[in-house]
Amino acid sequence: MALGGGVFVLVLVGVALAAPLIAPYDPIRQSLRARLAAPTLAGADGKAHLLGTDHLGRDVLSRAIYGARVSLLVGFAAVVVGGILGVTLGLLAGFRGGWPDSVIMTLADAQLAFPFILLAIGIIAVLGPSFPTLIVVIGLSGWVTYARVLRSQVLVLRSREFVDAIHALGGSVARVIARHILPNVLSSLVVIATLELARAIVLEATLSFLGLGVQPPTPSWGGMVHEGREYLDSAWWISTAPGIVLMLTSIIVSRTGDWLRDLLDPTLRGE
């Protein structure tokens, strides 16, 4: 199961990296003669379009292949941003205790108590959609789980005698973190990051679908579903092809995360 999931992600990464080599056509080149062509081996422009063309005559397969770049780039980058932020804040809350701990955990509670997509929409509405904004906003939406797990791990270890012994021998906090805390939470972090990746990819697609994510003509799965919405009746493939790829990606990645969790760290179930 995890193997299958891992292979799927690797293949997807390969497709994204090699997009210019694999994609049959330029994803943003329009061809008015070949507009809204159904999946075909010989279109009106004399070319094969395995997944058809969209309302501007662009090849849907090529766009879906390039769309993987956006999904994975934003997804992985957002996971990194959220992970760094969450791990840092979690360590800070755990080691410092006191008011930094209270502030950080109150923030976490407040964020969990609110549908983040509304806030994301507000922020993007004002700052304007761009790759950096998208990555930061989606990253911000996912720091809480990391922070909670790190904090509780620190609290558990901080009171152990060997940590006192390290301090007594002159070992630094950094040493405790690097040698004792991070190795202990590594498997939890892998599980959280996998589940977060699925969430980040879906959130990016959702924002792009709403017109707040990646802007045309750059192809993204969410944006393609949005573009095809008006042609559902006559050209169903425009929305369906990227939508199904997106749905499969989300299901497989999150199932892999579930599976890793049950294998590596069943205590995360409640999170």
Partner 1 sequence: MRGLLPFLASRLLRAAISLWLVSTVVFVVMRLSGDPVPLLLPPDAPRSEIFRVRAELGLDRPLPVQYAFFLGNALRGDFGQSIHFRQPAFRVVLGYLPATLELGLTAFVLAVLIALPIGVLSAVWRNSVVDQAAMGLALVGQSAPTFFIGILLILVVSLNFGLLPTSGRESWRHLVLPALTLGAFAMASISRLTRSAVLEVLGADYVRTARAKGVSEALVVAKHTLKNAAVPIVTITGLQFGSLLGGAVVTETVFAWPGIGRLAIHSIYNRDYPIVQCTVFLSALLFIAINFCIDLIYGLLDPRVRAS
Which residues of this chain interact with partner 1, rule CB under 8 A? 106-107, 109-110, 113-119, 121-127, 198, 202, 205-206, 209-212, 222, 225, 229, 232-233, 236, 239-240, 243, 246-247, 250-251, 254-255
Which residue, 3 or 113, is less far from partner 1 as judged by CB?
A: 113
Least Å distance, CB 56 to partner 1, is 19
Which residue, 114 or 162, is less far from partner 1 as judged by CB?
A: 114
H or E segment at 157? helix 143-158
Nearest CA among 109, 137, 112 for reference residue 123: 137
Least Å distance, CB 174 to partner 1, is 31
* C-alpha span between 229 and 30 (Å, rounded): 19
Which residue, 131 or 231, is less far from partner 1 as judged by CB?
A: 231
Least Å distance, CB 210 to partner 1, is 6
Which residue, 28 or 119, is less far from partner 1 as judged by CB?
A: 119
The full 3-state SS of 184-217, as one line of letters, equals HHHHHHHHHHHHHHHHHHHHHHHHHHCCCCCCCC
* Phi/psi of residue 129, nearest 5 degrees: -75, 135
Q: Which two tokens stand for residue 3?
A: 């193997």
Least Å distance, CB 179 to partner 1, is 33
Least Å distance, CB 118 to partner 1, is 5
* C-alpha span between 29 and 165 (Å, rounded): 66
* C-alpha span between 225 and 208 (Å, rounded): 9
* C-alpha span between 108 and 183 (Å, rounded): 24
* Phi/psi of residue 45, nearest 5 degrees: -95, 10
Least Å distance, CB 156 to partner 1, is 18
Which residue, 115 or 266, is less far from partner 1 as judged by CB?
A: 115
